[in-house]
Structure 1
Amino acid sequence: MSEPPVRHDTRAMTTRRRMADPLTREPRIVIVGSGFAGYHAARALARLVHGAAQVSLVSSTDYFLYLPLLPEVATAILDPRRVTVPLAATLPGVSCVLSEVSGVDVEQRRIAMRTPEGRAVEFGYDRLVIAVGSVNRLLPIPGVPRIAHGFRGIPEALYLRDHVTRQIELAELAEDPTERAARCTFVVVGAGYTGTELAAQGPLFTAALVRARPALHDQPIRWLLLDTASRVLPGLDPRLGRTADQVLRRRGVEIGVRTSITEATDDAVRLTNGQLVPTRSLIWCVGVRPDPLVDDIGLPTRQGRLVVDEYLTVPGHPELFACGDAAAVPDPARPGELAAMTAQHAQRQGRLAARNVAATLGRGTRAPYRHRDLGFAVDLGGTQAAANPVGIPLSGPLAKVVSRGYHLAAIPANRLRIAIDWALDAVLPRQCVQLGLVRSGAVPLDSAAPELPITPASHGTS
């Protein structure tokens, strides 16, 4: 009997040929950064180029941080895991690389990385999406880099939660009235989204801490919100700013407009009006700047952000794209201006970058950046919020429902867990304890050259 004919797996042979021959391998798309822009770019690309390219996401963390809910982590409403979305579990078809990018060689099309254990690695790419986001931004004010606490990530939120708790606990033990008052005073610099939400949530948190400490029942707990602008939320509709201002003042927050600080020491800050405020807590929400990697690439920048065209492509480098806070994206609604550094823009730009990268591989057609303002929502804690969905101004409980509904719709995971935490917070006392997970030295503020413009710290929750 003759032997049966050999059956060849043509798909496996094709795959082996692609791996052996670099001229026929699948293109490699690398995305740097797992913030709003990078995460949504990776998610869209996995769908658009499925089977036609390799998609890799390089990030120093294994999660996407849903930044708008970070104040609720700092004030013991949400467990920190609720606002972190695991990359590997929610990005099927994407290779997630846990490393920090230290350099980009645009001529050789390679990136240099360092793993969490310090090992240097290089990675080649055919298409590169820069979505590294932003970092804390400082003014050249004596003492601020050493004294102030930033508010850009999970470590900072956990540290701040412990720090505020610790100050209240130590104030209860303090015999010196001056020391006690300083420990019960909290200064927030920057009245953008982050600073305003934190200053609004803060008094509710400290009230919960004080409730179990009879020695502090007659002790004033001061929260100060400072900004050089003429009003709260200067970048938003004035109606939202007025609502926030009213809620803050009802909670006893002292608002200092056209005011900042000139010096910070271990036990006080001096304001620009000359007033000395004893405090052990300086929370820095002044602004953000693009990640330093943007400057290191060596390509043209504008306001510290990588210059791109309306297709999010870097001029002269059709294989290189940038989006989010790292990119100077022209704002079609404001000729000559750049799109704001908000989550709203970053998320949309990430998806558009994915579409335009896919178009270079023959999958679909590219499109310019366009956006329609859907409004903003600012969560003010308790039952209060300010929102203007599609231009309709809302405040109070109705705005709160809109705000929380938006967050549950926008976050890619953990919706049920977040809803349960919110429900428990409404009926049970907060768990106000120090966990001691993050020490001060683990959350340093970055410093920056003063010539770059300040961008209000924001997350654009719409």
Structure 2
Amino acid sequence: MNKHILIVGGGYVGLYTALRLQRKFRRELRDGSVRVSIIDPNSYMTYQPFLPEAAAGNLSPRHVVAPLRRVLPKVHILNGVVTKVDHNERTVTFQPPEGGPREIAYDVIVMAAGSISRTLPIPGLTDIGIGFKTVGEAIALRNRVLHLLDVAESSEDPEVRRRALTFVVVGAGFAGVEALAELEDMAKHSTRYYRNIKAADIRWVLVEATGRVLPEVGPEMGKWTLEQLRERGIEVKLETRLESCEDGHVVLSDGTEFDAETLVWTAGVKPSPIVADGGLPVDERGRIKTTTMLTVAGVRDAFAAGDSAGVPDVTNPGEYCAPNAQHAVRQAKVLADNVVRSLRGQELVEYRHKYVGSVAGLGLHQGVANVYGVKLRGFPAWFMHRTYHLSRVPTLNRKVRVVVDWTLALFFKRETISLGEMEHPRDGFRAAVATMRR
């Protein structure tokens, strides 16, 4: 057996699949009869449930990512993007960050490309909108919120202050609610260091097109979450759409208009673009058509899972598995085992997992949970949220670092410093050069 297994994407499915293949094929990887490669733009996997805590300063951004090369020493990591999949020829076109594209041959392909933000053609969205799927976006958003507090503190113009202190989040799912709750908590804490800003001066607006927040935790817990957000002074606008945000002037479908410097877009995701251009069958939602055994429907030697795959839910006939970390981590285990079985000529097994429920953090010591029908709120739910996600963070190294961050936060106040210049590190040097030319 001399096989090359190529994994497209280094997120949940890609990392956990490679981890399991690394264990299952320990001997084969050593003697070279099996090779495993991952192609991803980044050299790390992001544990997205911890992005809100990283944005709020509760966790170091380095501790919410897992370095692929360290975690997967037996796997070949290639940084870049796949622009084309030719499964008939068993090749992909790989575009590295520098240089021209090249073709990479494989025997078995695992499509784990994940998802990107699903946007709409809303005027002004690309100008002021920011997503919340990457560490870069989370830290940039943190810096922006703190920078705008500095702007408001330093200005006597009421319009400038009002615009700077208005923050809009579109989408009331996990990403939107958790990001808003953590950032609102951080901003409120930060006001104690400002002379001219009170917590009540900061306006947070949550816009949701449907009539519910956090549908994943059920109607009862969703209603409780809505009440908690409104008690904290957050404006929650349900059954409302963003119509326009040109030049920071926000227009909502309920007729509300106001100016804001910051708009966070968390209104859903869609499969990575490579899925549509990958030459593999896709369903009506643009996901790869996948069987219950996580093979690509009607195709040999091709597997798929995670956000980019339409995986039938065998515990709920007619439905598909939700695109979340809970399914992705478990799918990766079955997918890796089925890759091994396929190469060894054994019978494949179905992916079967009944959704156990959800947990969400709503800021420090606040949370909501609905797990196996047990409904929790407040501190117990927050504790469950942290405990569950700590158990899911890959590698002992990262678990220890996360615990250390949380422990330090018990004894020291959180940092509320904007380091926005990190996003433009050459500006100062360019300004110095320009001064010399005068």
Q: What is the TM-score with the length of structure 1 in the denominator? A: 0.87
Deviations 1:358-412 (A, max 9, x none): 1111175411121122221101111111112322111111112111111111101
> Is 1:109 the equivalent of 2:94?
no
- TM-superposed CA distance for 1:219, in Å, is 5.6
Structure scoring higher RCO (CA < 8 A, sep ≥ 6) equals 1
* Secondary structure of 2:196's aligned partner: helix
Aligned residues: 416
Q: Of the candidates 409, 417, 421, which is equivalent to residue 425 of structure 1?
A: 409
Any idea what the Cα deviations from partners look like across 1:55-84, whole Å, max 9, x if unmatched? 111111111110000011112221100101
Give the superposed CA RMSD.
Answer: 1.7
2:62 paired with 1:81: yes
Is the CA contact 1:202–1:223 (under 8 Å) kept in the aligned structure 2? no
Q: Unmatched 5+ residue regions in structure 1? A: 1-24, 441-462
> Secondary structure of the equivalent of 1:423?
helix
In structure 2, distance between residues paired with 1:296 and 1:281: 33
Q: Name the CA distance, whole Å, in 2 between partners of 1:193 and 1:222.
A: 20
Deviates more, 1:68-77 or 1:362-371: 362-371
Q: Retained in 2: the 8 A contact 1:189–1:195?
A: yes
Aligned to 1:224: 205
- Alpha-carbon distance change, 432 to 218 in structure 1, aligned in 2, over 3 angstroms: closer
Give the 5 Å matches for 1:49-88. 49-52=25-28, 53-88=34-69
Distance in structure 2 (CA, Å) of the matches to 1:201 and 1:184: 16
2:137 pairs with 1:156: yes
**Aligned-partner Cα distance in 1 for 2:154–2:392:** 43
124, 132, 150: which one aligns with 1:143: 124
Match of 1:456 in 2: none
Question: Which residue number in structure 2 is paired with residue 39 of structure 1?
Answer: 15
**Deviating more after overlay: 105-114 vs 365-374:** 365-374
Using the alignment, how far apart are the partners of 2:118 and 2:350 within structure 1? 30
2:384 aligned counterpart, secondary structure: helix
Residue in 1 that maps onto 2:422: 437
1:347 pairs with 2:350? no
**1:318 alignment partner, SS class:** coil
Partner-residue secondary structure (3-state), 1:437: helix
In structure 1, the partner of 2:253 is 272
Q: Distance in 2 between matches of 1:172 and 1:142?
A: 30
Partner of 1:362: 344
Q: CA 1:396 to 1:218, structure 2 compared with 1: closer, same or farther past 3 Å? A: closer
Find the counterpart in structure 1 of residue 400 from structure 2. 416
**CA distance change for structure 1 residues 358 and 175 in 2, over 3 Å: closer, same or farther?**
same
Deviates more, 1:142-151 or 1:281-290: 142-151
TM-score under structure 2 normalisation?
Answer: 0.91
**Greater mean alpha carbon deviation, residues 184-193 or residues 363-372:** 363-372
Could you tell me which residue of structure 1 aligns to residue 435 of structure 2?
none
Matched ranges for 1:162-173 at <5 A: 162-173=143-154
Task: State the one-letter code of the partner of 2:134.
Answer: G
2-structure distance, mates of 1:390, 1:216 = 43
Structure 2: how far apart are the matches of 1:27 and 1:257? 52
Q: Report what 2:429 is aligned to.
A: none
CA gap of 1:392–1:439, structure 2 versus 1, over 3 A, is: farther
**As a proportion of its length, which structure holds more helix?**
2
CA-CA distance at 1:196 after TM superposition: 0.6
Give the aligned partner of residue 300 of structure 1.
Answer: 281
Aligned to 1:336: 318
Cα distance between partner residues in 2 of 1:325 and 1:163: 29
Percent identical residues: 38
Query: 1:112-134, CA deviations, whole angstroms, 9 ceiling, x for partnerless residues?
Result: 11222244232111100000000
1:391 maps to amino acid: G
Structure 1 residues 168-220: Cα deviation after superposition (integer angstroms, max 9, x where no partner): 11011222212211111110000000001011112211112221111113761
Amino acid at match of 1:361: L
Equivalent position amino acid for 2:88 in 1: E
Secondary structure of 2:83's partner?
strand
Q: Which amino acid aligns with 1:389?
A: V
- CA shift in 2, pair 1:64/1:162, >3 Å: same
Alignment check: 8 A CA contact 2:191 2:199 kept: no
Q: Which amino acid aligns with 1:284?
A: W
Tell whether the 8 Å contact from 1:159 to 1:439 is kept in structure 2 after alignment: no
CA distance in 2, matches of 1:221, 1:363: 62
Q: Is the 8 A contact 2:216 2:357 kept in 1?
A: no
Specify the SS of the correspondent of 2:168.
strand
What is the SS of the residue equivalent to 1:237? Answer: helix
Inter-partner Cα distance in structure 1 for 2:241 and 2:336: 41
Once residues 297 and 282 of structure 1 are traced to their aligned partners in structure 2, the CA distance between those partners, rounded to angstroms, is 33
Mapping for residues 184-263 of structure 1, pairs under 5 Å: 184-217=165-198, 220-263=201-244
The residue type paired with residue 47 of structure 1 is: R
Equivalent pair of 1:98/1:116 in contact (CA under 8 Å): yes
Contact 2:8/2:39 (8 A) holds in 1: yes
Answer yes or no: is 1:48 the counterpart of 2:24: yes
Of residues 41, 65, 77 in structure 2, which corresponds to 1:96? Answer: 77
Aligned-partner residue type, residue 437 of structure 1: M
Q: What secondary structure does 1:51 align onto?
A: helix
AA in 2 matched with 1:378: A
Divergent runs of 4+, >6 A: none
Q: Distance in 1 between matches of 2:156 and 2:99?
A: 47
Give 5+ residue unaligned stretches, structure 2: 29-33, 426-438
Deviations 1:247-302 (A, max 9, x none): 31222111111012100022320111111022111100101000000000133211
Equivalent-residue separation in structure 1 for 2:89 and 2:312 (angstroms):
28
The one-letter amino acid of 2:380's match is L
Q: Distance in 1 between matches of 2:219 and 2:408?
A: 33
- Counterpart of 1:309 (choices 291, 306, 317) is 291
Query: CA offset at residue 331 of structure 1?
Result: 1.4
Q: d(CA) in 1 for partners of 2:200 and 2:62?
A: 34
Taking the aligned partners of 1:141 and 1:32, their CA distance within structure 2 comes to 31
Helix, strand or coil at the partner of 1:186: strand
Task: Provide the secondary structure at the position in 2 that maps to 1:393.
Answer: strand
Query: In 2 relative to 1, CA 118–169 (structure 1 residues): closer, same or farther, beyond 3 Å?
Result: farther
How far apart are the structure 2 equivalents of 1:294 and 1:314? 12
- Equivalent AA in structure 2 for residue 257 of structure 1: L
Of 361, 377, 385, which residue of structure 2 is paired with 1:403?
Answer: 385
Distance in 1, matches of 2:386 and 2:217, equals: 19
Aligned CA distance change for structure 1 residues 285 and 218 (closer, same or farther; 3 Å) = closer
